[in-house]
Amino acid sequence: VVRPFRELPGNWRTGWLNLFHFWQEGGFHNVHNIMIHKFQKFGPIYREKLGLYQSVNIINPQDAATLFKLEGNYPERFMVPPWVAYRDFRNKPYGVLLKKGEAWRSDRLVLNKEVLSLKVIDCFVPLLNEVGEDFVKRVRVQIEKSGRGRWTADLTNELFRFALESVCNVLYGARLGLLQDFIDPEAQKFIDAVTMMFHTTSPMLYIPPSMLCRINSKTWRDHVQAWDVIFRHADKCIQNIYRQLRLDRENTKEYTGILSSLLVQDKLPIDDIKSNVTEMMAGGVDTTSITLQWAMFELARTPVVQDQLRAEIFAARQAAQGDMLKMLKAVRLLKAAIKETLRLHPVAVTIQRYTTQEIILQDYFIPAKTLVQVGIYAMGRDPKFFTKPELFDPARWLKMDSTYFRALGFGFGPRQCLGRRIAELEMQLFLIHMLENFKIETKRGVDIGTQFDLILIPDKPIYLTLRAL
Ligand code: HEM
Ligand code: 2DC
């Protein structure tokens, strides 16, 4: 029998009171743990209301499958209100991140060809590879300086620079020089602005866009300032390439990056190209860098796995004879290690969709236009879906009898992460070079928790030791 919507478990009847309790409990840095707690309390489905926003939350891969199979051709996720509010406030165009319907789909189809398709991702490999090699050189210099054959540091900012250098090399086909000693202060300001933008989003997550500009709180002002820096700096980078492209008319055959492909093709209006390239530039900093930091942390804590990966990489290097594309096809365990990192440390606490039609989840009737969230952080740590979830065991992805709707770190379907292929290649190449050159270690017994800052991040600095092999 199908049970009605109003019988769904959860404290969804008291929206503003919930939001108040949420604030009191320091909720906005703890969304992920609150969700785990609610799944324990209410079971695999619960309904919730925060402020004006209602949602249904699910954890079971089967239910995720039901949701995604009916998402249709124009899937919509939760629109982060402060991000919408900023663009409306400053009159900036939306990119795919915030577009809907046909406007989203037509942009997205053009972008998929230049950012996600098999045809084009091979062109990214040399561009991302050289940045990975330069990171290794930089670590070597630091080890040299220490005089002890090793370097211990909180790598957060180094990895932010690595990540920005990487996306910019594929977007613009140009190096920014962020892995050298003297760093363009504008680029550092951009990096800090992205972190600030995420940080100031979470306290405003459940306040409707129209209210935000009116209250003019400190958080809102900081948020606007952060986006201003992001848009201004991205615009500068884009203008540079635009000018160059008009100067040297003789078009070489060589690949010169996503932006010039989009400009030459002329399938999107310049304003849409700009807004999408800005989103990719901002979306490419904290996401991959923090995932890499977690990956190195987990590998430092599980040296057995680290050695297995290194062995796989050495063998792949031998067999490929310097052909990077070939080498990337021979590192299955490494790819599994990235999935495993995102299982325990996803960037996004949930993947959400608005239902396009009535659906049934856990025997409950869910009406159309309901926001349904798949709690991927909670799913990744639940023994019902992953045996011994606390273990960092990349091999589980190769031997599990079912990985069905369990690898959702980049989302799913036509609305999945646009930067997915860039992020995967960037992380694979980084880890290949790091493991070929260094042993990664960390102090034993240091527990690092997770904090919700819109994206999930470590709750304290992670100190890693890199030792020359
Ligand atoms: C969307 C995760 C890196 C740009 C998303 C979504 C997730 C995600 C979960 C939502 C997908 C959905 O709703 O199904 C990640 C992770 C990353 C990463 C885990 C790295 C470890 C990047 C990078 C870029 C990027 C490097 C830029 C090149 C975007 C954009 C969207 C998006 C533009 C919105 C796409 C749309 O709405 O059509 N990402 N991301 N991401 N990501 Fe990423
Ligand atoms: C945050 O309840 C929690 O990839 C909310 O690169 C639901 C929600 C909606 C959209 C998610 C967001 C969460 C986390 C950050 C994500 C975002 C979609 C894209 C974005 C996952 C889970 C991110 C980080 C993009 C950001 C691009 C931006 C800087 C231009």
ipTM: 0.99
- What number is the average pLDDT over the span 66-92? 96
Distance in angstroms (rounded) separating the CA atoms of residues 185 and 27: 34
pLDDT in tens, 91-130: 999 999 999 999 999 999 999 999 999 999 999 999 999 9
Q: Which ligand is nearest to the CA of 97?
A: 1
Element (H, E) at 256: none
Question: Is 208:52 a contact under the CB 8 Å cutoff?
Answer: yes
Beta-bridge partner residues of 354: 371
* φ, ψ dihedrals at 150, nearest 5°: -155, 165
Question: Is 468:140 a contact under the CB 8 Å cutoff?
Answer: yes
CA 282 centroid distance within chain: 11
* φ, ψ dihedrals at 11, nearest 5°: -95, 65
Residue nearest to atom 23 of ligand 2 (CA): 283
Residue 292 Cα to ligand 1 midpoint, Å, equals: 15
Residue 219 Cα to ligand 1 midpoint, Å, equals: 24
- 355 to 75, 77, 109, 206, 414: CA distances (angstroms): 9, 10, 22, 20, 15
Candidate of 293, 417, 422, 457 to mutate for ligand 1, largest count of ligand atoms within 8 Å of Cβ: 417
Note the pLDDT of residue 449. Answer: 97
User: Tokens 């499958």 — which residue?
Assistant: 65
- What 3-state class would DSSP assign to 220? helix
pLDDT in tens, 254-295: 899 999 999 999 999 999 999 999 999 999 999 999 999 999
Residue 462's CB is within 10 A of a number of other CB atoms, namely 18
Closest CA to 31 of 457, 341, 462: 457
Q: Which pLDDT band, with edges at 50, 70 and 90, does 21 fall under?
A: confident
Candidate of 86, 97, 160 to mutate for ligand 2, largest count of ligand atoms within 8 Å of Cβ: 97
Question: Is 233:186 a contact under the CB 8 Å cutoff?
Answer: yes
Note the pLDDT of residue 19. Answer: 75
Strands, E, within 367-436: which ranges? 371-374
Ligand 2 atom having least distance to the Cα of 282: 29
- 404 to 308, 338, 342, 343: CA distances (angstroms): 25, 17, 16, 14
Indicate the residue type of 85.
A
Q: What is the pLDDT of the chain when averaged over all its residues?
A: 95
User: Tokens 């969709």 — which residue?
Assistant: 353
Helices and strands: H and E segment counts in the chain? 19, 11
- What 3-state class would DSSP assign to 236? helix
Q: What is the largest CA-CA distance in the chain?
A: 71
pLDDT in tens, 289-329: 999 999 999 999 999 999 999 999 999 999 999 899 999 99
Question: Is 374:13 a contact under the CB 8 Å cutoff?
Answer: no
Radius of gyration of the chain (CA): 22
pLDDT in tens, 426-464: 999 999 999 999 999 999 999 999 999 999 999 999 999
Closest CA to 349 of 30, 39, 76, 37: 30
- What number is the average pLDDT over the span 235-263? 86
How buried is residue 324: exposed, middle or buried, by Cβ count under 10 Å (0-12/13-18/19+)? middle
Residue 459 Cα to ligand 1 midpoint, Å, equals: 22
Residue 97 Cα to ligand 2 midpoint, Å, equals: 9
Closest CA to 389 of 398, 380, 378, 399: 380
CB of 284 within 6 A of ligand 1: the answer is: yes
Residue 96 Cα to ligand 2 midpoint, Å, equals: 12
Note the pLDDT of residue 148. Answer: 93
Note the pLDDT of residue 251. Answer: 63
Q: Which of 27-36, 245-254, 270-279, 360-369 is the least confident region?
A: 245-254
Ligand 1 atom having least distance to the Cα of 290: 21
Candidate of 353, 455, 456, 457 to mutate for ligand 2, largest count of ligand atoms within 8 Å of Cβ: 455
Q: Is the pLDDT of residue 249 over 70?
A: no
- Cα dihedral sign, 185-191-197-202: negative
In the Cβ-directed half-sphere of 307, how many Cα atoms lie within 13 Å?
3
Residue 445 Cα to ligand 1 midpoint, Å, equals: 33
Residue 30 Cα to ligand 2 midpoint, Å, equals: 16
Residue nearest to atom 34 of ligand 1 (CA): 97
User: Tokens 């290649």 — which residue?
Assistant: 425
Give the rounded percent of residues in the chain with a pLDDT score beyond 90.
87
CA 353 centroid distance within chain: 17
Termini Cα distance of the chain:
62
Ligand 2 atom having least distance to the Cα of 194: 29
- What number is the average pLDDT over the span 369-379? 98
